[in-house]
Copies of this chain bind each other. A is one copy, B any other.
Amino acid sequence: MITSPSSLRRSERSRRAILEAALELCTEKGYGRVTVEAIAARAGVSKKTIYRWWPSKSAVILEAFTDALVGTTPFVDTGDIAADLRANVMGAVKLLSTPPYGPAYAGILSEVHHDDALAETVRTKLIDPRFEEAVDRLRRAQEQGQIPPDADLPLAVEMLYGPVYYRHVLRKPVQDEETIAALVAHVLRALGAPPEP
């Protein structure tokens, strides 16, 4: 199929309108009460348009959350692995403590346990790519001699992000900057990295 530039532009505009409508409705009604029908009405598209691109409202909200997460927590390389990890994890914590993102992601996770297709989408669209990016950032630090060559990088990523999930799903108070700094310092020490100057 040949798609003209103008129809591609229109699709991206619709996509953005749909994701924005989904987030607005999460804020107004809470994740549980959002429906594909309401998203369609708010975005000014048909339900059919939404179902052409997404299998469920959860998939729409997952894409909106993923866009926000990727946008606010890039894996930058300033040459300082500790500072870059602090910025990255703190960015994720801040997003999770900002409505509607935190409650929306909690809503998605609450469906993961009984929705196999959604669980697969969460892993392939959100978790796996982010996990790989985090490992890549650690690998660059390894290449720069900031982390020993034999360090277990995937384990480090779980030690960094595990506590964020722990507090999020249990609805404990989120980490502050100081706690994130301590967490990052502990993970780097666990990997055998020399202490920060």
* Residues on the B chain within 8 Å of A113, using CB: 31, 103, 106-107, 109-110, 169, 171
Interface residue ranges of A150-173 to B (CB < 8 Å):
152, 155-156, 158-159, 161-167, 169-172
Residue of B nearest to A126 (CB): B170
Answer whether residue A111 sits at the interface, using C-beta atoms and an 8 A cutoff.
yes
* Residues on the B chain within 8 Å of A31, using CB: 113-114
Instruction: Decide if B166 touches A162 in the complex (CB within 8 Å).
Output: yes
Q: A135-156 vs B: 1/0 string, CB under 8 Å?
A: 0000000000000000010011
Answer whether residue A186 sits at the interface, using C-beta atoms and an 8 A cutoff.
yes
* Contact-residue size bin, chain A (C-beta under 8 Å from the other chain): 35 or more
Residue of B nearest to A187 (CB): B190
Smallest CB separation, A127 vs chain B (Å): 6
Chain A residues with a Cβ under 8 A of chain B: 30-32, 103, 106-107, 109-114, 119, 122-123, 127, 152, 155-156, 158-159, 161-167, 169-172, 179, 182-183, 186-187, 189-192
Assembled-state Cα–Cα distance A30/B115 (Å):
12
Assembled-state Cα–Cα distance A27/B182 (Å):
41
Question: Across chains A and B, which 10 residue pairs bring their CB atoms closest together, nearest first?
Answer: A162-B162, A110-B110, A106-B113, A162-B163, A190-B190, A186-B190, A158-B163, A162-B166, A165-B166, A119-B171
